[in-house]
Structures are given as structure tokens and as C-alpha cells.
Structure 1
Amino acid sequence: MGLFFSVILPIVAVFGAGYVLQRVRMLDVKSIAPLSIYIFLPALVFTSLYEADFNAGYYIIIVFAFALMFAMILINKVLAWAFKWKHSVESASILTTAFMNGGNYGVPVILFSVGEKALPYAIFYMVLQTLIMNFFGVYYASRGTGGTWMALRKVMKMPATYATIAAFVMQQVPVVIPESVYGMLTLLGDAAIPLMMVLLGMQLASIQSLKLNWEVILSATSVRMIISPLLAVLFVWLLDVDPIISSVLLIVSAMPSAATTTMYAIEFDSEPDLVSSVTLVTTLFSIVSVTVLLQFIS
């Protein structure tokens, strides 16, 4: 219970603050989210990766991210065949299981439970997951009707993509960033995590309607919250991964569905109510499941 009170409860409280604020004031989340996407998050990505010591662990993270995503897609294909789901339901299940909330939720959990030494890995995974989600998420939400080109454009519009590239490049060139500039970037980056946490609460509060298709909800929740962490345990055991990176992979694998997938489902009319339902259920379930996982890791 100590981990719940020291890690999960403070994080959930911040989510709750965003949720209550949105319910009371009904702010336009689409107007606030760009603050995080275009200003605070790129600063956090750049400063974290610029200071990181890139090693083989980052390649392991890349392999894991793609392996887990394709495993989730394959499992959903099998479930869709077994339960005879239509394409839109299959897409909704893929969106909610293949793409987890590794940013708004995963980064603060990793920071508070594992420590700052794990933060560069968590940030790198968040950026990688965002790129993957912006491509494959858009593709599966649109089911191929212009999805590939639209997905590519989505990836190239994300500032975090360029912040990652800039961090790699600046590490290699003999140019010193002025202290005043880097200090401002650090200041902006420090504000990114609490802002992302508040935004998640606001996004959950903005869910307008639910579709309680329990067959899909229970299947998706089981895949995202139980099977995904088990696959991560198998991965880190087979590859004998460094303990810090193992902790990062295990935690992100147990994160609930990404709230961003709801926006994709709405935009492409891919069962948005069902996607919202799974996102809400997995987020609530994670309060217990992530606490148990942190106890296991510790």
C-alpha cells in the first residue's frame, strides 16, 4: 500500500484535478492541448534526450515497442475472427490495446516510482510511441482510406519528432547551447509532465457518451492491462534487459489505453463511443493493476 500512497494516489489526484476542472468549467481541451504538444512537450523531449547517454538500451526499447504493437494487433485479429467483429469494432479494439498512455500517465509513474535515471528512457519511449500511434493509429482508425498518406503527414507535423532529431544532432556537433536558452528550455520542460497529467483528467471528463459492449470492453481491457504486461515480462526475461529499462518497459506495457485514440476514433468514425468506454475502463482499472505491478517490480 505504500507504493499506492506514494506514487499512484498523487498522480490520480492530479488527474482528478483536471477532471473536476473540466466538469466545472467545461474548457475547450482542443485549445489547451496544443500548449503541451507545441511548447512544453518538445522542450521536455529535447532536454531529456540531449542529456541522455544513448546506448544499446534505446535499441531494445525500439524493438520492444514494435514487437508489442504487432503482438497486440495479431491478438486483436484473432479475437475479431473468434467473435466475428465487424471491421470498425476490430479497429476500435486495436486502437485501445495497441496504443497505451505512455506519456500523460506512464512518464509520471516511471519518474515517481523508478526515479530520474529512468526518465530519458521513458521520454524516448513516449516519443517513439507517439510516432507509432500517429502513423499506425491513424491508419487503423481510417482503415486504409487515405490512411497511409494522412498518417505520414500527422507524424511530420509533430514537434516532438523534430525535438528528438535536434537532440540527437546537437549531441554530435561541437556547439554549446547558451545557458540562458537551455535554462528556458528546462523550465518549459519541467512544466510538461504536470500539464500532461491535468490534460488527461480533462480528456477523460470530456468523454460525451459510452457504448457498453462488454464483450469488446472486457476483451480489450484484458489484452491491454493483463496480456500486454505479461508479454513485457517475457520480453525482458528472454533478452536479460537492464533493470532500469526493464522497469520502464513493464510500466509502459501496463498503461491504460491512450486518450488520443478517442480523437482518432471520432475523426474517422471508428466506434468512438466504444473507444471512449475502453479508455475509461482501462484507466480506472489501472489504479489497481499498476499498483500491483509496481509492488512486483520493487
Structure 2
Amino acid sequence: MIHSVLSTLYQVIVPLSIPVIVGALLGRFKNLDTKPLLTLYLYFLTPAIILNTLATAEISMDDIYKTLAFSLLNLCFLWAIANIIGKLLKLGPSEISGLILVSTFTNSVNYGLPLVLLAFGQLGLDKASVYVIGQMIIVNTVGVYFAARSQFSVKNAVKSVFSLPAIYAAILALFLRIFELHLPSEVATGVSMVAGGYSPVVLAILGAQMVKVRAMPSERKGQSVFWTGMIIRLILAPLVAYLGLSILHIDGILFSVLLILASMPVAVNAVVLAERFNASPELVSKCILWTTLASFLVLPILIVLVQGA
């Protein structure tokens, strides 16, 4: 077991950590501005990898239905847990909103996809693509609602979803699959080349963002909320994901991929929502940093467990 974990740590986490460390060093010593890179990631790299993956992915309609069902079931479970714990701890509305963001949204796009590719190969990436598209939609609709229920607008939420180029890339890929069409070979080669740059760029962005996280709140209440968020994301989230997958009778590589993606650290874009709607941004940003660091140890164990299952 220990040998398997160390082997996974070396083969999967070490390659991922190199661009993260480089990004962190550039952010710390060169004050790397991530805003242009985020534009590149959101409007260029993400649509390319989604189109490249979905257009040729080995996924069935059954996989799609099960993935979407799991995404919604897992979201409901984690929302309920965070909400109940928040009320038991007598937290304010802002802190409960922050705790829900920490509990429900994972870094499945710019950390999960490269991890799945290294751990489970192209087939794993194919299975992950549907989940990632679903998460993009959920974050820009339900995520906005969680962060700012009083300011939530269905019209603005739908508008934000259709402002994402990845959605149009997914629609194009589904159109090509339904009508059994293919991109011209030269275009497909160009899209594949762009998609190849996805992992190092987004991981470097993650590293640069991590070094900009503010210090942990020193007051006792802030500490208790922080540790609550850490426990939910690192311990309860994998257990809840396992329960949801068992209820839906999901098995095989789809089970492994979805369990790992649901156990990823806190999503980086959660702090964007937290800052915009004052949903305890310090709590969310600190949980992003520490769940990401802890994931370098937790995820190899989970990968070994699911691969041996």
C-alpha cells in the first residue's frame, strides 16, 4: 500500500507539481499577472481541450446520464451537509455561503483534468469531460445562487453560462458526434496542439494564485470555520461521493474518475464568487491553498484505492 502510494505520488503528483511550483515562484518573485493568462485559459485553452476531447471521446449516453445524475446528487448532499453544519455552529449567512462554496465546488477543471489524464490516461480524460462541462454550468448558475441568494438572477446566470466559449465548444463537439462528422484534419491538428498546452498553463496559474492567498483569520471563530471547511472537503467529500456513486450503481473507470474529481481541492473560481458577493472570501481563499497542498498527499491514496478496487 505504502509503495503504491509513493509510486503514484512520484508518477502523477510530481509531474503536476512542477508547473504549479514554477507558477508559484513566478507569482512570488516576478509578480506574475494571472489576468491575461486567465483570459487565455478561459477563452482559448479550455474550449480547445473540451472540443478535442468530446469530439473523439469514448463515452456513451449512459455515461452522460450517470455523470449528470451524480453531479446533481453529490451537489445536493454536500450543500445539505455544509448548510446543516453551518447552522449547528451558529454561523452568519456570509460564513455559511463561504462554507457551502468550499464544500461543493472542486478544482476539477485546471487541476482535475491534468490529474485524470496522468492517472487514468485518455479514456479517463474522456469520462471526465462530461463532468467538467457540467461543473462549468453549475458554478455559473447554482454557484452564483449559493454565493448571493439575495442578488441571484436566473437571467444573469443563464447569460453567464452562455458567455463561456467552452459551452459552444461542447455544443460543436456534440453536433459532430451526432451527425458523425469530423473536423478537417488540419483544423483537428491545430486544436489538438492548443489542447496540449492546457495542463502546464492552467497549473502554473494555480501556483501563482496560491501564493497570493491572504493569511488565515486569527480569531477563534475564523479558525473553526476554516477547519470545518477543510474536514468537509478532504474527508467528507470523498465519502459522500462514494455514497452517491453507490446509489447510482456507477462502476468501472467512470466510478474512479468521478470519485477523484469530486474529491479535488476547493475550486479557484470559488473565491471569485466569494469576493464578489462577500461570502467569506478569506475563508474560501485559505481553504483553496490548504486543500490544494493537502491534496498532494490525499489524492495519491485515493487513486491507489480506486485503482485497486
For normalisation by structure 2, the TM-score amounts to: 0.92
The 3-state SS of whatever aligns with 1:282 is helix
> Offset of 1:209 from its aligned partner?
4.2
> Is the 1:209–1:276 contact (alpha carbons within 8 Å) kept by the matching residues of 2?
no
> Which of 139, 156, 163 does residue 133 from structure 1 map onto?
139
Partner of 2:199: 193
67-76 or 167-176: which moved more?
Answer: 167-176
> Which of 114, 119, 123 does residue 117 from structure 1 map onto?
123
Please say if 1:43 is aligned against 2:52. Answer: no
Please say if 1:242 is aligned against 2:248. Answer: no
Matches of 1:54 and 1:121, distance apart in 2: 6
Partner of 2:3: none
Matches of 2:244 and 2:87, distance apart in 1: 26
Matches of 2:43 and 2:54, distance apart in 1: 17
> Offset of 1:13 from its aligned partner?
2.4
Matches of 1:243 and 1:176, distance apart in 2: 29
Partner of 2:302: 293
Aligned residues: percent identity? 29
> Is the 2:58–2:127 contact (alpha carbons within 8 Å) kept by the matching residues of 1?
no
> Offset of 1:147 from its aligned partner?
4.0
For normalisation by structure 1, the TM-score amounts to: 0.95
Task: Tell me the alpha carbon deviations over residues 227-270 of structure 1, each in whole angstroms, 9 at most, x when there is no partner.
Answer: 11112222333443231101101101210100111111112222
> Which of 10, 29, 42 does residue 15 from structure 2 map onto?
10
Task: Tell me the alpha carbon deviations over residues 17-39 of structure 1, each in whole angstroms, 9 at most, x when there is no partner.
Answer: 11111111112212210101101
Matches of 2:300 and 2:58, distance apart in 1: 30
Partner of 1:72: 78
> Offset of 1:97 from its aligned partner?
0.9
Aligned partner letter, 1:278 = C
> Offset of 1:283 from its aligned partner?
1.1
Q: What is the correspondence of 1:53-64 to structure 2 with a 5 Å cutoff?
A: 53-55=58-60, 56-64=62-70
The 3-state SS of whatever aligns with 1:276 is helix
What are the ranges of 5 or more consecutive residues in structure 2 without an aligned counterpart?
1-5
Partner of 2:237: 228
Matches of 1:157 and 1:206, distance apart in 2: 27
Aligned partner letter, 1:253 = A
Matches of 1:181 and 1:288, distance apart in 2: 39
Partner of 1:86: 92
Task: Tell me the alpha carbon deviations over residues 141-180 of structure 1, each in whole angstroms, 9 at most, x when there is no partner.
Answer: 2223144333222111111111111110111235442111
> Is the 2:70–2:245 contact (alpha carbons within 8 Å) kept by the matching residues of 1?
no
Aligned partner letter, 1:28 = D
The 3-state SS of whatever aligns with 1:39 is helix
Matches of 2:280 and 2:9, distance apart in 1: 33
156-165 or 233-242: which moved more?
Answer: 233-242
Matches of 2:228 and 2:214, distance apart in 1: 22
Aligned partner letter, 1:20 = L
> Is the 2:59–2:126 contact (alpha carbons within 8 Å) kept by the matching residues of 1?
no
> Is the 1:138–1:150 contact (alpha carbons within 8 Å) kept by the matching residues of 2?
no
> Which of 141, 147, 151 does residue 145 from structure 1 map onto?
151
Kindly tell me the number of residue pairs found equivalent between the two proteins. 298
Matches of 1:121 and 1:60, distance apart in 2: 11
96-105 or 117-126: which moved more?
Answer: 117-126
The 3-state SS of whatever aligns with 2:150 is coil
Task: Tell me the alpha carbon deviations over residues 106-162 of structure 1, each in whole angstroms, 9 at most, x when there is no partner.
Answer: 111111111111111112211211111111112222223144333222111111111
Partner of 2:269: 260
Task: Tell me the alpha carbon deviations over residues 80-104 of structure 1, each in whole angstroms, 9 at most, x when there is no partner.
Answer: 2101111000000011110001111
Partner of 2:217: 211
207-216 or 248-257: which moved more?
Answer: 207-216
The 3-state SS of whatever aligns with 1:57 is helix
